[in-house]
A = this chain, B = another copy of it.
Amino acid sequence: MQTIRVETPSAKYDVIAGSGLIQTLAPRIERIAGRLPRRVFVLTSGPIWALWGEAFLASFAEEPIVLFLEPGEKFKTLGSVDKLLRQMARAGGDRGSLLIAFGGGIVGDVGGFLAAIYMRGIAYVQVPTTFLAQVDSSVGGKTGVNLPEGKNLVGSFNHPLAVFADIAVLGTLPARELRAGLMESIKAGIIRDRALLRFMDEHAAEVLGRDAKALEKVIAASIRMKAGVVNRDERENGLRMILNLGHTVGHALEQATGYKALLHGEAVGWGMIAALFLARRRGTITASQFERLEILIHLYGPLPALKVKAKRVIAATGGDKKNVGGVRRFVLPIGIGDAGVVEDVTPAELDAAVAYMLAQAAEKPKAEKKAR
């Protein structure tokens, strides 16, 4: 078990990563929050609750009130938030209530947002159940939902009391989701942690085979990287921007494909390919670094093939949240282990990067064979 401390100007809390946490949640939360309040809400999704609900309830003396969010990005909406807030009000939730977000990234984002705005804010705890949510969305306090106009356009910065990342829960995670989540760990390595990248290079079989020790190592390192960045830049004014490597094109891909064809991590995987291409062109990474990173991304693939017009992807990059005052921002790696933000990517550069990525994405995936 590993504990990673997050310390920002507005919150201090621990992320605990290890096996068997969910069977012992209630006493763990009580140690942090004091006695559990009269109303404890659990936001989860049907599939997760079917698999892990019983284990979850094991440590609670009084049964919490379970709220369900239907699985899928298309339910990450203000409509769902409205429905859930009303359920909380009808169940007698008050300002002292506690919410536990028990599920993947969407459950975490919606749960954190519910906690941010229900009665102007109640306490909450994250119990992420996917690899991606464990390494990424449960750390940093970003919460929210989508609008039809774009992803994550509505939300709050709202930190949990604690995050419990239970490695054992990943045992029931579909392989595709695990691989998609690992893209964020690759990202972590590229922008901040050469050692993590080397470990992932050398131990791909153990990681993809869900060896508990290997997973804990990758997860803890990824969380530590993110916590380190968030600690220094809570509000995404500067450094935190680098966490968006692969996200400018990644978000555009998700939007252009209607959030259906790709898991978030997969979109980031493709987005990283585009960003790496740009970085190689500009010389912030060498050709051999480019090749090594591209192979690594495919090693943890396959990234799904894509059928989408370059034009649509490029247009969608214009609506990215990272743009302030109409500037299109891009995160580019600088060698391996560092990254920076550029604002002067030309249309020609963007065209070339998207074309390169889409040419690859049109081929049949072949990387999976290599990885096994």
Contact = CB atoms under 8 A, between A and B. Distances in A.
Interface string A116-157: 111111000000000000000000001110011110011111
Contacts of A323: 94
Given A38-B325, A94-B321, A149-B89, A144 B120 contact: yes
Given A90-B149, A150-B89, A156 B324 contact: no
A82 B142 CA distance: 19
A347 interface: no
A142 to B, nearest CB: 7
A153 B96 contact: no
Number of copies of this kind of chain in the complex: 2
A120 B148 contact: no
Contact of A147 (B86, B92, B116, B155): B86
Contacts of A94: 321, 323-326
Given A86-B148, A117-B117, A144-B120, A325 B154 contact: no
A90 B150 CA distance: 10
A85 interface: yes
Contacts of A38: 325-326
A331 interface: no
B324 A157 contact: no
Given A117-B117, A142-B120, A154 B85 contact: yes
- Give the interface size bracket for A toward B: 35 or more
A344 B144 CA distance: 39
Contacts of A143: 120
A312 interface: no
A324 B155 contact: no
A236 to B, nearest CB: 8
A213 interface: no
Contact of A120 (B79, B119, B157, B319): B157
A95 interface: yes
Contacts of A149: 86, 89-90
Interface of A: 10, 37-38, 78-79, 81-82, 85-86, 89-90, 92, 94-96, 116-121, 142-144, 147-150, 153-157, 319, 321, 323-326
Given A89-B149, A96-B324, 16 more contacts: A10-B10, A37-B325, A38-B325, A78-B82, A82-B147, A85-B153, A86-B147, A94-B326, A119-B153, A119-B154, A119-B321, A120-B142, A120-B143, A120-B144, A120-B157, A121-B157
